[in-house]
Each structure stands twice: as structure tokens, then as C-alpha cells.
Chains A and B, each alone.
Chain A
Amino acid sequence: MPEETKEFWRWSEKVWRDESIDWRGSRAITAGIDVGSVSSQAVILADGRLYAYHSTRTGSNSPDSARKALNGAMAGADMSQEDIRYVVGTGYGRVNVPFANRAITEIACHARGANYMVGPSVKTILDMGGQDCKVIRCDEKGKVQNFIMNDKCAAGTGRGMEVIADALGVPIEDIGRRSFEIDEEPPPVSNVCTVFAKSEATGLLKAGWSVNRVLASYCAAMAERVSSLIERMSVEPDFFITGGIAKNEGVVRRIERIIGIEAVRLPADTVLDPQIAGALGAALFAHALLKKEQKASAQA
């Protein structure tokens, strides 16, 4: 048996279901599937209420990843794909969700999902995914007004953080916490390019820096990079962060320091995960679209 190599860079998989809901009693089961470059999420709604979600890793094949995410969310609920009345696909692989009724951009879905998670007060969203980073402005209904993105350069995307997690052998979940276990905030890593920053990080270790100090330095550099994107768009509170990076306090708190605005935190006892915002938004669109179809057919 070949030994499994440890993957430091991925967020753990996650399944959640609301056991208090009996989905069989609902009229409208809808789903949203976000096939991202690194992870895929599926969210199932029962009559517009969050029922279940699953977050899994994206494989080399988008349709399989979409199916895997949905199967994970349905698992244990005795639900099959036929029970789901409307599916919206989103994310990088959205056109490759074979069973989706529609594909909607992740920009629209993240805004919608953030609006559901935080409420109508959310006006600015930072979504940092595996291979891109977006700043989205939306209205009180979660409708997109404007956005800017970086999908050209790995610096300032989740991928940049993954490279460092792997290089330093630190699980991505631990980076934020460990980046604060230092005596004094170090200067940010000077190289922007992820390739060069990785060499710089190993050089700092050789020069006697602790792993935590290097992590702090790298989180600070990433926060600077992301903040420059945020500052190109005027930030209006409430400000909310979605995507995997939202779970890295090492970057989040340093971004807040730079832009001088605090990001909204979900309550500690929340069942929501900022990484599912896109899939959640897609599921909400699916619900609205299904309602519209039902209304149209009732009138016909």
C-alpha cells in the first residue's frame, strides 16, 4: 500500500444537515452547486430554507465533482436526484454541471448567498476562492451592482496560500491561528509573485525565522495584496468575506487593519460556512426560478 501523502493545503470536507426538517413535506426542493477550482459545494433548500450542504474537493472532472458534492449533501437523507426540482450550477465549472437547469455566475451567487447569511445590510463582499479573488458591491436585495476581480495572478488568491501551506507543511486550517503566535508583527514578505514568495519564505526559515513568523509575514503580504484590490472599489459596510480565505483569521484581521473596516463575523454557533456562499446563492436562485416556473404553469 502506498502511503498517502498528507495534503496540507486543502480545507477539510464538511457535511451538514438540518435534522429538524422533513424534506418530504416540502413542495420545493432546490439545489445550488458551486464547482470551484479547488473545492465544490452543494446546498439543498427545502421550500427556500437551508436543509443540507456538503463541501468536497474538486477532482479533475467537473461533472463528477458536481455529482459528488450533491450526493454528499443528499447522503443520509434518503433523497435522490429526482427529488430535486431545480438545480443551478455556479463557479468555475458551472457549465459542466450536466444535471443543472441553469448556470449563473458566481459573482451573482456569492452576493445572493452573502445577503442570505448576513442580511440586507451587507453591501460589499470579498470572495476569495481557490484561483481568484473578487470584490462585489451589491444592494440590499443581494443584487450585484459592480465588481472587480483578479483571476490572472495566484498572489492574492487561495492558491497562493495553499502553496505556502504545502511548502511549510502547515495545515491550511492552522495558518490563521499560528500567524498570531508571534512576539512582534514581522514585515510582509517582499515578493508579490507566489513563486518568488515561496523561495523567500524558505529563505526566511533558513535565516532562522520561526514557521509562525513566516506565516505572519506571508499573511500580511496577502492582506496587502487583497486590500489593494478592495481599495480600488469603495468599501461600504457591511463588509462580508466569503470563500475559503474567510476562515483564515490571519489574513482577515490583517485586511481589516489595512482598510480600517471590520468584516461581519457569523455568530459562533452558526451552522453556516462562508465557503458555501456561492452554492447557497445558487440554491436560492434555483428556488426563485422554480417558483416562477410553477407560477407560469399555474397561469397557463
Chain B
Amino acid sequence: MIVAGIDIGSKNIQVVVLEDGTVAARVSVASGFEQEESARKGIEEAAAAAGVTPADIEYIVATGVGRKAVAFTQHQVTEVAADAKGAFALNPAARTVIDVGADEARAIRIDATGKVIDFAVNEKCAAGAGAFVEAMSRALEVSLRRFGEISLESTESIPMNAQCTVFAESEVVSLIHSNTAQKDIAKAVHDAMAGRVSAMARRAGLENEVVIGGGVAHNVGFVRALKDTLGVGDLHVLPEPEYTGAFGAALIAAQKVAEGVPALNPQA
């Protein structure tokens, strides 16, 4: 049985192909302006990577902000449902799932069976998402990867006043002018964002183990800052964190096929 999950985000599209319950391929493509076309491309590339054709994929479940913009999938689930499913499968001890992407962030609390109890979402403000750190690394002219790494070298705690990404850019520029070390600015930026993500996570409720997915989980500076801010045991980074949602969607697809649920979009 071959199924796929596709997570259609505002910046990137992730596809996970499962063959008899095992990951056969993971592919990421840019969303671009033609989501439908990019999504098709994602499926084609993922099928090729799995050594099959798109027609071999029995069932596709879409998630992500653009899930409704794509006509060829059989079923759609919310990002919360997909994330919870994916994270719980990857780590059954997970009770709080934090997912931070480029343009949005979520925190989901799940029970011992993986069922969603509560969640909180930020999709309105760039300051609580990856876009914040991205904009600040640009202002410092440091690559995003390096920006996260150098923040680990800092032991300073410089509070940032600005809560808005646009205002924070000016604040970072004035920190540069006042000769603040890059590593200290980087830490200040990650701490500020961690504060906002942590406030959101608290709204959903914190319970160990806390796991983090989404592309921003690759940022070591942010993960440390969030771990320090949350103050709950450990913060476990999920494997291939940006694929959490797509993986969850693929698992739901496999479940649908196993249950013999007919496709919602039979024309596909």
C-alpha cells in the first residue's frame, strides 16, 4: 500500500510517501505562487524518489495553510491533527507538541493515546514565527544557520524591547551601531522569539515530554532559547522536524485506506 501526506505551507511544500507504513520518500519543494502546480511537482518528485509513479499512490491527505487550494488530494486535515499524529508516532511519550514554521507556530497538547486535548496557534504575527529570526539574521547579514550557532556562544541576556518584527529590525540595527557582539544580538533575538512561542505553548498547556517540529527546530539557537524559557525538563527535537505535518498526513492516509474510506475527491 502506497500513500502520501502533503503539507502545503506558505513557503514550502513537504511530501512524505509511505510504503506499507514505512517512509519511502521525503521531498520538499517551494510553494511559489502556483500552489496547485507546485504541489503536483512535489508529488511527482516524491513518487520518483520512492521509485513509483504518482498513479501508484492510492490515497493522498493534504494539510497546511494551502490544503484547500489543491484539488487532486483525497482528503484534508488541519495542521493540528496532522502534527499531533506525526509527532505522536515519532515519539509516543510526547504530550506537548510545538511546531514552528516560517510563517506560523502551533502548540498542541495530546493525551497518552495521541488525541488532541488543546492547542494554540499563531498565524497572525511574524514575531512568533521563523520569519522573525530570518529577518534579524538578514539585518545582521549572517546566514540563518550561522545565526543560530553563534547565539550558543553567548552568555549575555540582552532584553529586546520591540515585540514587532519590523520594529525589532531597527532595534537590531541600533544594537549593531552600539557595537554589541553579533553572538549577543543573536541570543537576544532567539530569546525574544522563544518568549513569544513559550507564551503560546503555555496557552495550550505544557506537559512532559515536550517535542518540537517544524523547520525552525533545525535552529539550534532557538531550540536552546526555547528550552531555557519553557523550563520543563527537556525539549526533544523530532527527527526530520519539518516533515512532521506531512508524515502525520501520510499516516492518516494509510489509516483511511486500511479503514476502506472512500475518497472525498473521487475525480482524482
Contact = CB atoms under 8 A, between A and B. Distances in A.
Same complex origin of A and B: yes
B7 to A, nearest CB: 19
Contacts of A193: 124-127, 165
A206 interface: yes
Interface in B108-147: 124-127, 131, 135
Interface residues of B, number: 17
Nearest to A197: B126
A60 B167 CA distance: 14
B166 A160 contact: yes
Contact of B163 (A153, A160, A192): A153
Contacts, number: 42
The B interface is mostly helix, strand or loop, or mixed, namely helix
Contacts of A98: none
B49 interface: no
Contacts of B170: 37, 131
Given A60-B177, A206-B33, A159 B166 contact: yes
Nearest to A60: B177
Interface string B41-83: 0000000000000000000000000000000000000000000
Contact of B164 (A152, A199, A206, A207): A152
A195 B164 CA distance: 9
B131 A195 contact: yes
The residue among B33, B125, B131, B174 with the most chain A CB atoms within 10 A of its own CB is B125
Contacts of A191: 124
B126 A203 contact: no
B126 A195 contact: yes
Given A193-B124, A193-B126, A159 B103 contact: no
B216 to A, nearest CB: 15
Interface string A202-224: 01001100000000000000000
A159 B165 CA distance: 11
